[in-house]
Amino acid sequence: MASMAHYHRPERLIVGAPSTLGEDRLPLLLTGIAGVAGYNALHYFRARYPGQVIGIRQRDNWRLIGEGVEVCNAEDEAGLQELFRRYKFRSVLDCAGNCALKSCELDPEMAWRINVEGVRNLIKLTVDEGIRFVHLSIDLVYSGTRTGWHVETDVTDPVTEYGKTMVAAEDLILETDPAACILRISLPMGVSFNGHAGAIDWIQSRFKKHRPATLYYDELRTPTYTDCLNELCEATLGNDLTGLFHAGAPRALSLYEIAQVINRIGGYDPSLLHGCLRHQAGPIPPRAGDVTMNSSKLANALGYEPFHPWPHDEHLTPTYREWHMERGGGIDGSKELLTKVLYKNPLRRSTTLTI
């Protein structure tokens, strides 16, 4: 098992205020607003650029409504054409994709249609018009069977249909739009639309209902605050970075360690958290291992480190498997504390959604 909560020290400190999008990059289209990254981005960008941001959601997600929300499946080419004609978008932040691992395994055609054909339809509308295109990919393009802290030149070897379709989408973008930027993200830590899609929401929902949650000791990620990710996306939409960049935070945590953090900081019953090795969970969906990412290339390109570690304070990170069973020690767990330091980054100016 990997060491607990290890840290990849960034080369540069986080500096400066968020960038501002120029008029040549507005209006902005956001896809995938039902996901954690897209949902938080929608509220962030609409607060920053009132009346100039439109988000699209799938037709079957009927509960996601509101000002600036349009109904259009990304794989609906005609529907997208109509939206582009009506709003005359100058940039696109593509957060779309079906990330339900089991659903993708059981229905690979659906995964390909949403995760690849949706990107193809967007590229057709952006590349010839010189529309800025920023696409969010994922760390699960790797199997995690190597030593982690992957760099962009590492060969992709996904173990899931989801990961395979995300690789295909990356390849499609790199082949057809040399001006596009791809950000491989890890777990975005923020509120979800439906209250259980995000990592925090799903784990916390189990504990709230006094139900057990079993997480893996040996699947490691580099989770990021959505506060940091929103500002990174804004900077990337506004600049001219091209190609592929890793966009993970500098602290690595296993899924089990993430659940430890949520359990203790939320003040939940520690007996509800269980752990296992990923091979003990069954064959479907297959699980990746250490897919941590080294994001130095991105920091070098930006001139600063865009992510604080999640959680922001090392004092709030596990040091051993029973760490969440401790109480006290300067951590008085509660839902209010969890909202303050896990959903939101106390070190950033935040437009994170109110929980």
Q: What's the pLDDT tens digit per position in 221-275? A: 999 999 999 999 999 999 999 999 999 999 999 999 999 999 999 999 999 999 9
Per residue in 98-114, pLDDT (tens digit) is: 777 888 888 989 989 98
The structure tokens listed for 311 are 């959680």
**Which range among 54-58, 116-120, 281-285 shows the weakest confidence by mean pLDDT?**
281-285
Q: What does the pLDDT look like over 177-199, one tens digit per residue? A: 999 999 999 999 999 887 777 89
**192 vs 86, more confident:** 86
Domains of the chain and any CATH numbers: 23-342 (3.40.50.720)
Burial class (CB in 10 A: 0-12, 13-18, 19+), 284: exposed
Global pTM value: 0.94
Residues in contact with 188: Cβ distance below 8 Å, sequence separation at least 6, in sequence order: 36, 37, 40, 198, 223, 224, 226, 229
At residue 1, the pLDDT reads: 43
* Beta-carbon contacts of residue 311 (< 8 Å; ≥ 6 apart): 261, 265, 317, 341, 342
* Predicted pLDDT of residue 351: 56
- pLDDT at position 350 is 58
Q: What is the mean pLDDT of residues 110-122?
A: 92
Per-residue model confidence as pLDDT tens digits over 316-344: 999 999 999 998 888 999 999 999 999 99
What is the pLDDT, as a whole number, of residue 272? 98
pLDDT at 241: 97
Task: Note the pLDDT tens digit of each residue in 8-42.
Answer: 777 677 766 677 899 999 999 999 988 999 999 99
Average pLDDT, whole number, for the chain? 91
The pLDDT-based confidence of 143 (bands split at 50, 70, 90) is very high
Angle at Cα 189 formed by Cα 73 and Cα 322, nearest 5°?
Answer: 135
Say if residue 212 is preceded by a cis peptide, omega within 30 of 0. no
Are the CB atoms for 184 and 137 separated by under 8 Å?
yes
> What is the pLDDT at residue 7?
76
What pLDDT, on a 0 to 100 scale, did the predictor assign at position 2? 45
Tokens of 249: 């935070």
- Is the pLDDT at 355 greater than 60? The verdict is no
- Residue 76: pLDDT over 50: yes
Residue 66 has pLDDT above 90, yes or no: no
Q: List, for residues 264-298, the tens digit of each pLDDT value.
A: 999 999 999 999 999 998 788 999 999 999 999 99
Provide CB contacts within 8 A for 273, sequence distance 6+: 207, 212, 213, 215, 256, 259, 260, 263, 324
Rounded CA separation 242/71 (Å): 29
Share of the chain above pLDDT 90, in %: 75
